[in-house]
Chains A and B, each alone.
Chain A
Amino acid sequence: MENPSQPAATATADQPTDARPADAQQTLIEVRDLKVEFNIRGGVVKAVDGLTFDIKRGQTVGIIGESGCGKSVTARAILRMVPKPGKITGGEILYYRYSRYPRKDGKSQDIEVIDMTKLDPDGELVRQIRGGEIAMIFQEPMSSLTPVYTAGTHLNEAITLHRLIPLKRLGDQMVEKIVEYRRVTKEEAREIAIQMLRRVGIPKPEQRVDSYPHQLSGGQRQRVMIAIALSTEPYMLIADEPTTALDVSIEAQILDIMRELQQTANMAIMFITHNLGVIASMADEIVVMYMGKQVERAKVVDLFYNPKHPYTQALLQSVPKLGPKTGARLASIEGMVPDPLHLPSGCVFHPRCPAFMPGKCDKLIPQWNKVGENHWARCLLYEE
């Protein structure tokens, strides 16, 4: 199936036929009741406890929450990169894999459902997916690039590992049929790398491709990271606080690049941030997390205009807003984030909650309740 919106990023004429279905609303990732635990000295930390959401093709799902709430662990769990001693202890992560290249065994290019939690984290399959089909960009553009390699070397690694070029193409009139694929050569990889750098808006990419990370500014480094992630034409991009370390003007540039690339490539984005302003302009759907638990999930407009969970409400009110000055104090959430080893009983938010109901919130564990169309919250206020 030829997808005209597919960007021509390669220098070589022959693109692999894209097997991506045109329907953008197909599910790509389905996370069901995911649990990740860290067994550390002193107890078990439930970093992610019962997370359920899905990401459709071309959609942006935002995950927001304060530090330590399990946002990044979720992202890493999807790619099976949870650092030790963390373990996925429950739930499943279903990845609907659209095979990009014809399979060697000659089977058709149907959607293959892979449960990422069952894969060997060091196995061949997960390594094909990681970086190639689901790419990730990290918060720290300084420490995510190796200082001894140039930007080009970083890009080449991703491109030569994950990009294939069709060797032969028979019968242009018929359905395209590609006999074999070969890996990208060094020269082609460099060519692709330069084009990727140009697409993310790095000036003079022919020269910049040979720059070392220390010769690039913070914004440029983050753009190189994005170029690396996108050079493999992934189906999904996991962006873990991609602009937190950057200035607002650079942040605006990076977000624009991400939006544009998402539109042209129909790529899904999982956007992790604690910046509510950024998420409001990027996401279609938002998942709010607190202490490893998913407290609310809704479409972006519903979440900002009609938040249901008291934590979401408080979070939205505690952000200073630009505009006519009101002189009012900020509504802050009292108290502190609890110790993850000694979580409060009942609802974990109850000691800080303005809508605390004594005898209820500290005893009962709230369930995941549907509170509206495409809108869920984990709060006892919405339970019978």
Chain B
Amino acid sequence: MTDSLQNGKKDNILLEVNGLKKYFPIQKGLLRKVVGYVKAVDDVSLYVREGETLGLVGESGCGKTTASRSIIRLYEPTAGQVLFKSRVLSPDGRPRMVNLLELNREQMTKVREEIAMIFQDPINSLNPRMTVADIIAEPMVIHGKYQKGRSEEIIISLLERVGLRADHLRRYPHEFSGGQRQRIGIARALALNPRLVLCDEPVSALDVSIQAQTLNLLQDLQKDFNLSYLFVAHDLSVVQHISDRIAVMYVGKVVEMASSEELYANPLHPYTEALLSAVPKPDPLYKSERIIMQGDVADPSNPPSGCYFHPRCRYVIDRCKTEAPAFREVKPDHWVACHRAEELQLKGI
């Protein structure tokens, strides 16, 4: 699988993840004996091109957050390869692919300058005892880039860029609303001029009108700073709106990856089809044929045999129960892990 991903047509790849796995051990008893593993991320492969947004969707517990955190090694991955085109680690300043999982601590800290993160919870991800100025300055301080005067100017311009005012600098997080706090988080992520931003559900805690403002802001910043986003979310309409390409996860695996138009118009995986049909449409006259998936999401510590989706799948055949499908490129730039991808006629939107 790893090979096939690399053989695909890929130019301008900024981030390439191959076979990423993260297993959390389940320990029991006095000696903390390992009795099993929660396979939170089980063989995830994806790539992000420069300047594009890859949406990562899936239901809660499917491992999207774990995957994004494993990429930047906030969780130490169990196996796999994370290739990132780094500038800071290359001796001549020309971007060069490095495997993040092989870096030592010092190099990892350095490369994090180029990869920023925006978190879901705008309340808990800001230190309540630091002022806005300190919060945004902290990445610069950690990376030894803070210069009096000059950095303050950068901070003010960042604040204004995300729609806050310079007189907010000396205030504390609790003085702001949820949407404003998320803007502070965005300004902090941009402090070091990153190239890749991992957005972990950045708008799901916000109200509809604030959500729209924040999505617009993220799109504007992407143009201005030539950012690439890995956009993790569970809301399919939000993901479709912001993403160029979308990867769908189910129980630790990416089951489908395609451009956002293609995925919504011609889904190839039954899970994608069911997920799309389940999204409530803001139109009272829309007559939906909803596919109600039976049962709950599989347990990642005790996944079903074969294809993990087979107990809930409408199109299940015997092969699905025994043989796990490979993640393969069925059409150009359209990847899917389903045995019946070619024969099924699935409905999009």
Contacts and interface: CB of A to CB of B under 8 A. Distances in A.
Interface of A: 66-67, 203, 217-220, 247-253, 255-256, 274-278, 280-281, 283, 300-301, 304-305, 314-316, 318-325, 329-334, 336-337
A274 B203 CA distance: 14
Given A322-B279, A329-B216, A252 B292 contact: yes
A318 B296 contact: no
Contacts of B179: 336
Given A218-B60, A321-B281, 15 more contacts: A66-B209, A219-B296, A247-B59, A248-B234, A250-B296, A277-B279, A277-B282, A281-B281, A281-B286, A316-B282, A318-B208, A319-B208, A322-B349, A324-B265, A329-B219
B236 A325 contact: no
B198 to A, nearest CB: 21
Interface residues of B, number: 46
A337 B349 CA distance: 34
B275 A321 contact: no
Given A256-B292, A314-B209, A336-B179, A322 B236 contact: yes
Nearest to A336: B177
A334 B265 CA distance: 32
B237 A281 contact: no
Contacts of A217: 296-297
Nearest to B211: A318
5 smallest beta-carbon distances between A and B, as pairs: A277-B280, A320-B241, A332-B212, A318-B212, A333-B209
Interface of B: 59-60, 177, 179-180, 207-213, 215-216, 219, 234, 236-238, 240-242, 260-261, 264-265, 274-276, 278-286, 288, 290, 292-293, 295-297, 349
B90 to A, nearest CB: 34
A247 B275 CA distance: 10
Contacts of B208: 66, 274, 276, 315, 318-319
Contact of B278 (A252, A324, A333): A252
Given A203-B295, A256-B292, A332-B216, A322 B211 contact: no
Contacts of B234: 247-248
A217 to B, nearest CB: 5
B282 A324 contact: no
Contacts, number: 135
A253 B312 CA distance: 13
Given A248-B59, A249-B59, A318-B212, A280 B286 contact: yes
A24 B261 CA distance: 44
B280 A320 contact: no
A108 to B, nearest CB: 40
B325 to A, nearest CB: 20
A261 to B, nearest CB: 15
Contacts of B290: 252, 256
B307 to A, nearest CB: 17
Nearest to A320: B241
Contact of B349 (A66, A67, A323): A323
Contacts of A332: 209, 212-213, 216
B292 to A, nearest CB: 6
9 contacts: A250-B296, A251-B278, A252-B293, A301-B284, A320-B212, A320-B241, A323-B349, A330-B215, A336-B177
A220 B296 CA distance: 9
A21 B38 CA distance: 54
B279 A325 contact: no
B284 A300 contact: yes
Contacts of A280: 280-284, 286
